[in-house]
Amino acid sequence: MNISESKRLFAHAQNFIPGGVNSPVRAFRAVGGDPIFIKRADGAFIFDENDNGYIELINSWGPMILGHNHHLIREAVIDAMDSGTSFGAPTAKEIEIAELIVSMVPSVEKVRMVNSGTEATMSAIRVARGYTGRDKFIKMEGHYHGHGDSFLISAGSGAITMGNPDSPGVTKGTAKDTLLAPYNSLEAIEKLVDANKGEIAALILEPVPGNMGLVTPMPGYLEGLREICTREGIVLIFDEVMTGFRLAPGGAQELFGVTPDMTTLGKIIGGGMPVGAYGGKKEIMEHVSPAGPVYQAGTLSGNPIAMAAGLAMLHHLNDHRELYGELLTIGRKIAEGIMKINLELGYNYTVNHLGSMYSLFFSNDPVVDFESAKKSDTVLFGKYFQAMLKRGIYLAPSQFESLFLSTALRDDLITQILQAHRESMIEIHS
């Protein structure tokens, strides 16, 4: 495969952009080789600067659940552009999207739009602190909530991938209020709560984490967290930036029937534009400025182009709920196909799968938390990544990421993915 243009651009980019990229994992450091520079994308495919096409299994890290360049979103954006790109003043579209989110996401009674998942989680923690008058919060090891200082402590995603989970620049003073717990252990939460009685404002987690690879909650785990938080007056925050509108129209909270006090959203909510949101119980959200004293603002928040893209996406998902069944079928065909091929070839690697998310871990043990995820053979993953890329399949360039499937993956493409998987597994083990 000729990727000469990507190589040239990457070399050039490094003169002007730190590491040549605008988000660390894009640099392919965890898997070796040079990153692919993308020129365009359509449906299930992205195309690089040499016009090589790749079947997409990341989909812009989640947002493109309908595949790339979907006509409904493109038309909504073009239509909105005719009226100007930013006003910095309220618009009718913001009410429409807020109403739609409230109708779709069980925990959300009021919602504030922001520009990224990072802003959503930073703001949600601030509001939870303002609401409870407490400082500390609990975060799970290996979960990623964006790059706000207080979250960059045992964080997943790029933070593990880059090998510096505790980033320089995060002060000890900030870190001391972030309490860490292993995912899937209610016992650990009880201990933390006991040791910090009356001091914990919030417990934030990815209900189905995707940032240490995909891990699913043990039966009763989310319900148990709900009980503890209610008992202790702790604000339970589900970070559904990845899972919102993906695992079900109402996210993981709808799928598992557990309603948090607050929810953070991103990715799909913007249809590919930079959008995030946080929302929750009215009583809590009434603390947000200007209704209440907790300050949070944004020049481009509720931007009309971004709102148009998000509205087109959410209306489509809300009106076509059968798509979630289709996504589950696509996910099953790929995840079960991979497991079957692995067994035929004599490998017992763990595959975690839920709906349209899955991860293949190069580990023979079950992956239920950060510790077990870290046992994966990341060198072997790097070889697998390159072998798949060479065969035209674009995976997340890290073992510690979930893959995100789209409705654009037709059966013939799934067959190609599985064929590439078989060939890649043989190649990397020979």
- Catalytic annotation, residues: 144, 239, 267
What residue number has its CB nearest to ligand PLP?
Answer: 117
Site string for ligand PLP, 150-169 (x = CB under 6 A): -------x------------
Instruction: Please say whether the dihedral angle defined by the alpha carbons of residues 64, 66, 71 and 73, taken in this order, is positive or negative.
Output: negative
Count residues contacting ligand PLP (CB under 6 A)?
16
Site string for ligand PLP, 50-89 (x = CB under 6 A): -----------x----------------------------
Of 116, 259, 352, 424, which one interacts with ligand PLP (CB under 6 A)?
116
Q: How far is the CB of 246 from ligand PLP (least distance, A)?
A: 11
Q: CA-CA-CA-CA torsion for 23, 270, 152, 137, nearest 10 degrees?
A: 180
- For residues 268 and 312, the answer to whether their CB atoms sit within 8 Å is no
> Coil, helix or strand for 100?
helix
Give the strand order in the sheet containing 276-280. Answer: 110-114, 276-280, 262-265, 235-239, 200-205, 136-140, 178-181
Nearer Cβ to ligand PLP (61/381) = 61
Of 52, 107, 118, 253, which one interacts with ligand PLP (CB under 6 A)?
118
Query: Which residues share a beta bridge with 45?
Result: 42, 55
Crossing angle (nearest 10°) for helices 322-345 and 411-429: 30
- Nearest of 164, 158, 194 to residue 179 by alpha carbon: 194
Please state the length of the chain.
Answer: 430
- For residues 68 and 46, the answer to whether their CB atoms sit within 8 Å is yes
Contacting ligand PLP within 239-258 (CB under 6 A) = 239, 241-242
- Nearest of 290, 29, 235, 197 to residue 121 by alpha carbon: 235
Nearer Cβ to ligand PLP (76/275) = 275
Of 67, 142, 260, 266, which one interacts with ligand PLP (CB under 6 A)?
266
Q: Which range touches ligand PLP (CB under 6 A), out of 3-11, 100-108, 111-119, 123-131?
A: 111-119
Q: Is 145 in the site for ligand PLP (CB under 6 A)?
A: yes
Of 35, 117, 271, 302, which one interacts with ligand PLP (CB under 6 A)?
117
Which residues of the shown chain bind ligand PLP in the complex (CB under 6 A)?
A: 61, 116-118, 121, 144-146, 157, 206, 211, 239, 241-242, 266, 276
